Structure 1
């Protein structure tokens, strides 16, 4: 199993970041995410927690050896579940791959929480595991490729989300200042 984690902060208040997370896709930095479908959304009447389940459709350029060895296609699907708690100002997202999950899983956790200086802390972690105990060499190569792809996509996701937040909020704040 391989692990990935990163911490960073966004120069926007938590409420802006949470609104922005619903607008993250599509964006030019994350062109691998081609569809986002909301499967379910509920609000707990007692806690106010918003639970949303989405399916993300992705196009991934897999190396030829992976396609040959495991089959499949460039189309991949990810199940994402988020919880937004307006009272505690925490938003958590978990996601797991649906495609080729019999061979490998990538379980991701994201948390957005406010900082004392009005910014938002972003904490991301992932557990990536090949599920092929009989073929250890192939499993190691697959995990290495998945970790590399995840790290690339995580960096692109950060860039893309920064752009989304800038477009959503900085232009609006500038308009309000000039009004």
Structure 2
């Protein structure tokens, strides 16, 4: 059995970081995530949000893995999260549902607000193999090494979502609010594609050309890049 622990401090408030964590898929760095579906979601009497999601991931085996060790390169992962808006704490546990004999991976995420208004995320992961055949430690070490190698890429993808939320000018209170991230994104996209309401004379091409020449350059901000990535995916 192998363990891994890491902490990371965000300058953003807890409400933004917790929302970004729930919306982290899809992002340009998560091409290994094939699907992410909500199985159940409920609000407890104390006001906490409980969510269960089923995530389908894909991956590859190391070269030294015996042939037929895993029948397919996809794996189902169960994610269970609790968001406490009053205590400003989020807890999340993920674990794989298949290939558990080869290796079982369980990850615990704890996101809380600090005294100075920042957000601390603590990650704990456990890797345990029951495969045997003298490969138990090798499999566990491989899982740990791959997990550590993917952390930076995961953080880069998470940063993309954080930036999108910052630029969407959403209010800090996000859980259960009517203006969700996706609605904000759709309204912003509609504003960008809305045609001009200025009346033009029919056939007045020169006037349109002059207007185009005097118009500001096309928007190439993060929203445009995000839409381009979605279309290409």
Partners of 1:95 and 1:171 in 2: CA distance: 29
Shift of residue 171 of structure 1? 5.3
TM-score of the superposition, structure 1-length normalised?
A: 0.88
CA RMSD of aligned residues (A): 1.6
Task: Give the corresponding residue for 1:3.
Answer: 3
Shift of residue 122 of structure 1? 0.6
5+ residue gaps, structure 2, are 171-233
Structure index of larger Rg: 2
Cα contact 1:26–1:34 (8 A) shared by 2 = no
Which structure dedicates a bigger proportion of its chain to strand? 1
Task: Give the corresponding residue for 1:80.
Answer: 79
Task: Give the corresponding residue for 2:124.
Answer: 125
Once the two structures are superposed, residues 132-160 of structure 1 have per-residue CA deviations (whole angstroms, 9 ceiling, x without a partner) of 3x42x311111111111211222221121
1:157 alignment partner, one of 146, 154, 168: 154
Task: Give the corresponding residue for 1:61.
Answer: 60
Task: Give the corresponding residue for 1:42.
Answer: 42
Once the two structures are superposed, residues 33-57 of structure 1 have per-residue CA deviations (whole angstroms, 9 ceiling, x without a partner) of 121011111111x211111000111
Shift of residue 29 of structure 1? 1.6
Partners of 1:71 and 1:64 in 2: CA distance: 13
1:139 aligns with 2:136: yes
Shift of residue 69 of structure 1? 4.6
Shift of residue 64 of structure 1? 4.2
1:104 aligns with 2:106: no
Bigger RCO (CA 8 Å, 6+ sep): 1
Q: SS of the counterpart of 1:140?
A: helix
5+ residue gaps, structure 1, are 174-179
Cα 1:41/1:156, change in 2 over 3 Å: same
